[in-house]
Amino acid sequence: METKPTAIVYVDGLNLYKRLLEGSPEYKWLDIYKMAEILLPTHEIVTVHYFTSRIKPPINDPQAPNRQDAYIRALQANCNKVTVTFGRMTCKDRLFPKSPIVIDEDGRPVLVKVRMTEEKGSDVALASRMVMDAAAGRADMFVLVSSDSDFAPTLELLTSELRVKIGLLSPSPKPSRSLVLANHQLVKIIRNSILSDSQMSESVGVSGAFVKRPIPWIKNGTP
């Protein structure tokens, strides 16, 4: 029996969420290892590294962190070849002109306070892990799941300096041109049909108990 070449997959969790999952809750119970297997049938998936951050509870959805926690616990219990690395979320209040523009009695634009949420650390951790694994020769191909152009320098380093094979699985139908121009072995778009075929079981055993898919993530479910 012929041995398959190996691959390690690196998932930019925030990019995957923003591009594909945020508006499609029925796909959020995603088995990322199964998704990688479907998209890379010619390779043995050694590990899937998932990079994300613990979210802050939105004012209008205080249960969101609990759903994320349930998902991460189920994801890790569902497959021992998935690792999860956390960055951090930061929140800052900033002032922006009101839209549409409103001018006050002094002739200045009226400003409103907007809470900005940013993820810190995940991108650096992902890029560092890719480079370390490639330098150590831990697989035959190193595959990025993201459409974020910030990873273009990392991919360039992998191919030009370390001379390893890379792949791109894009959550966007139109990934960044700088990513696509890298010397990939393969480029594939993650489509809804793949997400549908890559869902975990409705209940996943975790430490002697069961974690269930959150009700808002069930198609036609209600919070």
Instruction: Give me the residue spans of the domains in the chain.
Output: 6-86+121-217, 90-118
pLDDT in tens, 40-73: 999 999 999 999 998 887 778 889 999 999 999 9
pLDDT averaged per 10 residues in sequence order, the chain, 223 residues: 91 95 95 97 97 84 92 95 82 68 78 62 91 97 95 94 95 88 89 96 92 89 45
Q: Say if CB 144 and CB 169 are below 8 A apart.
A: yes
* CA dist., res. 213 & res. 105, Å (int): 53
The CA dihedral of 57, 62, 66, 71, to the nearest 10 degrees, is -80
**Candidates 1.20.120.350, 3.40.50.300, 3.10.450.50, 3.40.50.1010; correct CATH number of 6-86+121-217?**
3.40.50.1010
pLDDT value at residue 174:
86
Q: Say if CB 4 and CB 42 are below 8 A apart.
A: yes
Q: What value does the CA radius of gyration of the chain take, rounded to a whole number of Å?
A: 20
pLDDT value at residue 90:
55
This prediction has a pTM of 0.85
pLDDT value at residue 103:
86
Tell me the DSSP string of the chain.
-PPPPEEEEEEEHHHHIIIIITT-GGG-SB-HHHHHHHH-TTSEEEEEEEEE-PPPPPTT-TTHHHHHHHHHHHHHHH-TTEEEEE-EEEEEEEEEE-SS--B-TTS-BPEEEEEEEEEESHHHHHHHHHHHHHHTT--SEEEEE---GGGHHHHHHHHHTS--EEEEEESSSS--HHHHTS--SEEEE--HHHHHTTBPPSEEEETTEEEEPPGGGSTT---
List phi, psi (to 5°) of 58. -65, 150
pLDDT value at residue 26:
95
pLDDT value at residue 185:
85
Contacts of 81 (CB under 8 A, 6+ apart): 33, 45, 46, 47, 48
